[in-house]
Structure 1
């Protein structure tokens, strides 16, 4: 059996009782280590808590060598651990499809993810529209199609959750050109970087935008679910200057608010400008 186990968002103890039982009895335990991170927790701490070895699974292993994970899962239990919820990324659906093609049964053990924990922002979940992803820009690659989805949500009065880019074990282009296989240092997009890119995209597209502008109210969140989570509420223009510390960060573009949401936003905001 292949088990996909959600770990939650904040602490090592956020795993469910059912998930922990599966981890302790599995023949092998893998930790997906590239779509998200568990705030402030390393593999060694997980191994100590689980009382068993944990195998880090990077993008290359999961996407190119998934058979290594699935081998033996038809006769023994294999646990694949995912920060947040197991189906929080399309990669994990692909692993299920591969298991199904090999006749390997699977089970999901769900947990909190940013998709529902973003309620910590004070905004009501059913007032959110389509979620968007904001990628790191480069000198030659500056996509801004996410602007269209944010604008569509705003026209409907809905909030937009922006998931910010993560770069883990990315191959260095310069090294590849020299025939070497080296990796770039890990990078995690912060709300100020996301806001900077959004402001640039808005300036470029401003003639076609009715709702999205630099004065749109936003919520920046960091390390949601952990004991040191931070929440900042400000305009997009101003949040560009916020520093919320260590990853992971997310950004919400606020649509039309209910009076209860307005009160909650004042209560939950706890960040200070740095």
Structure 2
């Protein structure tokens, strides 16, 4: 049996009661923190709450060798697989569930709070007005991906907001809103377009914590704003509904 459990947004206390019960009843606990992580917690704190050891897997363990760990144990044991945020949001988790089904392993999902809904709550931007999301990756060999810029452009043309996820890298660390803005503006300068000129941008840091930071301003002004510690995420809004505008004025 393999149960996927979303741990929520910030620390070990964000897990649901149903999720905590399943963890405590499990024979083996696996976790991955390469798609997201709980910045207000640690493995030691989690193990203290669960009363059991947690085996943390690297990306290659989950995506390339799951039959040697998670799936092998799930054939005859109760296994839980922990992720930050909500389970099944990342493609890698869906792939793991499909592999489990192919091996005849029963699976279930216990959901957790998601950054997708937290962004709406913290900013007041309406959830049904979001289009396709995008991720800004750290440049590879000094090449800046233009894909996020194209997504923003498409969404703006359709009157939709864009959530921009920011890269997590073992060597480069956690991308900040400031770095994300800088990379987007580099693409705009290269392409000599005006998708982001004078555009509103919203930066959010530490969603789910007791001190989240939410700041809305013209995109070029956010380059120098101090959002504090990770994790960060951005939103490029389309034209605002009057209630969205009022909420951003009051809360951001």
> What is the TM-score normalised by the length of structure 1?
0.88
The correspondence for 1:143, drawn from 133, 138, 145, is 145
Aligned to 1:242: 225
Matched residues in 2 for 1:51 and 1:186: separation? 33
Return the offset for 1:11: 2.4
Greater CA drift, 238-247 or 190-199: 238-247
Q: For 1:221, what is the secondary structure of its paired residue?
A: strand
The correspondence for 1:154, drawn from 156, 173, 180, is 156
Q: 1:196-207 maps to which residues of 2 (within 5 A)?
A: 196-207=182-193
The correspondence for 1:163, drawn from 152, 162, 165, is 165
The correspondence for 1:225, drawn from 187, 208, 220, is 208
Matched residues in 2 for 1:39 and 1:262: separation? 30
Conserved? CA contact 1:137–1:143, under 8 Å: yes
Aligned to 1:182: none
User: 1:15–1:34: structure 2 CA closer, same or farther, 3 Å change rule?
Assistant: same
Return the offset for 1:27: 0.5
Q: Is residue 2:81 matched to residue 1:98?
A: no
Aligned to 2:63: 63
Aligned to 2:248: 265
User: 1:139–1:58: structure 2 CA closer, same or farther, 3 Å change rule?
Assistant: closer
Matched residues in 2 for 1:148 and 1:33: separation? 28
Question: How many residue pairs align between the two structures?
Answer: 250
User: 1:115–1:31: structure 2 CA closer, same or farther, 3 Å change rule?
Assistant: same
Q: For 1:91, what is the secondary structure of its paired residue?
A: helix
What CA RMSD, in Å, does the superposition of the two structures yield over aligned residues?
Answer: 1.2
Conserved? CA contact 1:222–1:250, under 8 Å: yes
Return the offset for 1:139: 4.3
> What is the TM-score normalised by the length of structure 2?
0.95
